[in-house]
Amino acid sequence: MLQSRQGWRELALSVLLAAHFTQAIKFWPFPQKRFTANSLIDAGSLGLTGDVRVAAFGDFDGDQSLDVLSIAEDEQTLSVYYWKHDSFSFEASTPFKHPRRILNAVPGDFTHTGKLDLLVMSEGTSKDQLDLTVYPALLSGGFDVDHPLKLPPSSLPQPIPIDIDGDMKIDLLGHPPTGDELQVWQNIWNASAPNPELYEVIPAPFHNARCKLLNPHSNAVVDLNGDCLADVFLVCDEGSGKKSYQIWINNKDEGFSLSQNGDLPSGVQSITFTDVDRDGTIDMIFPTCSSVSSSTGLGTDCYLNIAFNQQLSLCSSTTDSGLKKGIRVCRPPDDLCTPDSNFKFDLTDDPSNPLFVRFPLTSVLPKSESLLVMDTTYSPSLPSSLKLGDANLDGFPDILLIASHGQDRVPHMLWSVPCAKDLPGCGPEGNGRRSWKLADKDVESLEAIKDARTVSFLDLDEDGTLDIMVQRTGSAGHGKVTFVQNNFYYDAFFLKAIVLNGACDNGMCYGPNGTAKYHPFGVSYSGATYKYTVLDTAGHRSAAQVGQLPQTSYHSLQTPYSFFGLGRTNNYIENLFVGTTVHAKQHWIDMEGVIPNSRVVILPSAQEGESWRRELFLRPGEWIPWVTVTVIVGTAILAIIVFVLQLNEKREDELERRRASHNINFDAL
């Protein structure tokens, strides 16, 4: 009987302890991690179910989280999937159907209201033209599908968004339905007009331009001469399979001038722009293949090519003016937006040319047979470009691509690494700028995908890491979209930045008669430029450059914000230069002492002399609670030490008083 009572007491005690432990967990200050492994992790479809194709990214509801725009299987129905932080997934909005088959969709604030509209490029009434339609954004959310804005059509090469006249409104650059001359769809929107029109077609401000745009092309709006003002890169079709390029420099009100042109290498595929070697200039990187299968989109005998941009380098000292005998020889760290009219790309494949490096794909992927360069699951086929992003936050962009292994289409990550002996892209002695190495550790979730058709970088849940979205054919039975969470721990910092289009003053937009009030956080535009200098832990200063949304054509899937790793640093960002396309005397600003691991939002002003608004949002790191606990524990320990010392001091004072009271004054006797 006594043993029975003892057993019941032990059971009751166990239940009581379990209850107290459960209550303690509720008040535990550290949230349970969703992903714990230090690796790439398969996060699933995150709500993007069904036969959908992601066509573009954008912040459609202005909550500073990345949403996705999808095209349904019928290739006419569009849906926005909004990111929901609480459920860590996307939530579909009400879809709507476009009357014609969609070829591309580009989010942008075309009506300059501070909300994302939607430009849809679709099959035209003629086989040689594209129909262009803009669906304006509604203040209550979604798009005004009942009152779309019809635009003058274009030829089949997709026009690119560009601010051609410096008013920060989105214009378009492309060809008319007939003829090869370049034209501009100039934004003339005036909502207060009786019958407002969105665009007026005018000749492009490119003097004597002779360029028949390639279809598909790699045209881009990005700063190439280093003045923080976006230039134009065009890919031209020379006939008989030959391709050339043209670089047009932005001279603000004076239009554009042809700075450089030349032939592109044989077998060239899509061109991507990034600062490969972290020298503060935008370089070109692209694959070349000897042949491409029209049925599979696979290129054989492929090479990776890097064309480095030769410009003024960064001055080694902050006190260096950059001038020598009155001639600019380098850029001071506090003056990075100095143009270099002598910049150049040299695409000559010669060992004596340090500005052009190429190496075979098999040198980094020895088991790969070919490279996927065209996505043939869409008609017409879409270019599958190399995706560049700093996935490990070391300050150098890594490469994401899809290679074939027999019948499988497998995505791979290539880490950017310093040059060393026997590494691809480096000289015989290991000299060179950068090389790449296959990521082969803890990437099983990525390489387990065997039916990839496109890949892209994005930051899921805005946590400061570049994750991966893989679109799939569905033949493996795992759906059409898979997200791969980048859960590697890196002892490094990042910065995210977005330049808005100046649609609203003081960072706040208002609807008609003040009926709505909202922030224009989602309305980035093509052409913004970022340059920054940072000190590493050894005190070495380096500069880097990043462009904002330079390419939007052919489902390029670039994020509206710019993301760049800072590497290991124990300091603030010294100087962050932010450039726009405004035709003002100074089209850029310099921000000093920007805090790493933050998001910077720039609201420029198109008016001369008006100040720009800058907002910085800090991301609370996972270490914040631990720092709090450390401070509290440290304070408690110090308080205990002070309390003990105080008690000892009081005891010593009491003993001293007692000894003094027992002393005999012999002089008084």
| pLDDT tens digits, 625-659 | 777 888 999 999 999 999 999 999 999 888 888 88
| pLDDT tens digits, 189-229 | 998 888 889 999 999 999 989 999 999 999 999 999 999 99
Q: Which of 501, 520, 506 is nearest to 139 (CA)?
A: 520
Q: What is the pLDDT of residue 125?
A: 87
For 374, the enclosing helix (H) or strand (E) is strand 374-375
Is the Cβ–Cβ distance between 131 and 100 less than 8 Å? Answer: yes
Is the Cβ–Cβ distance between 369 and 359 less than 8 Å? Answer: no
Running DSSP on this structure, what letter comes out for residue 519? Answer: -
Q: What is the pLDDT of residue 537?
A: 86
Q: Phi-psi category of 355—alpha, beta or left, where left has phi over 0 and alpha has psi -120 to 50?
A: alpha
Buried b / exposed e over 400-421, threshold 16 CB at 10 Å, is bbbbbeeebbbbbbbbbbebee
The DSSP line for 568-592 is S-SS-EEEEEEE----SS--EEEEE
Report the CATH fold assignment for 39-498.
Methylamine Dehydrogenase; Chain H (2.130.10)
Is the Cβ–Cβ distance between 576 and 600 less than 8 Å? Answer: yes
Instruction: Report the percentage of the chain scoring pLDDT > 90.
Output: 76
Q: What is the pLDDT of residue 21?
A: 44
Is the Cβ–Cβ distance between 462 and 447 less than 8 Å? Answer: no
Running DSSP on this structure, what letter comes out for residue 27? Answer: T
Name the pTM for this structure: 0.90
Is the Cβ–Cβ distance between 567 and 591 less than 8 Å? Answer: no
User: Can you read off the two tokens belonging to residue 668?
Assistant: 């008084």
For 641, the enclosing helix (H) or strand (E) is helix 624-661
Q: Which of 8, 30, 54 is nearest to 479 (CA)?
A: 54
Q: Which of 102, 52, 103 is nearest to 79 (CA)?
A: 52
User: Can you read off the two tokens belonging to residue 567?
Assistant: 């590497």
Q: What is the pLDDT of residue 430?
A: 87
> What gap in Å lies between CA 275 and CA 311, rounded to an integer?
12
> What gap in Å lies between CA 264 and CA 505, rounded to an integer?
44
> What gap in Å lies between CA 458 and CA 534, rounded to an integer?
24
CB atoms near residue 268 (< 10 Å): 20
User: Can you read off the two tokens belonging to residue 69?
Assistant: 């725009």
First to last CA, the chain: 80
Q: Which amino acid is present at 204? A: A
Domain ranges for the chain, please list them: 39-498
Q: Alpha-carbon torsion 640, 643, 644, 645, what sign? A: positive
Regions in the chain scoring below 50 on pLDDT: 1-3, 17, 20-28
CA 201 to centroid of chain Cα atoms? 31
| Three-state secondary structure call for residue 363 | helix
Q: What is the pLDDT of residue 610?
A: 80
Running DSSP on this structure, what letter comes out for residue 621? Answer: P
The burial of 5, by beta-carbon neighbours within 10 Å (0-12 exposed, 13-18 middle, 19 or more buried), is given as: exposed
> What gap in Å lies between CA 327 and CA 365, rounded to an integer?
45
> What gap in Å lies between CA 258 and CA 98, rounded to an integer?
38
Is the Cβ–Cβ distance between 289 and 297 less than 8 Å? Answer: no
The DSSP line for 533-567 is EEE-TTS-EEEEEEESS---SSS----SSEEEEEE
> What gap in Å lies between CA 157 and CA 169, rounded to an integer?
22
> What gap in Å lies between CA 144 and CA 654, rounded to an integer?
85
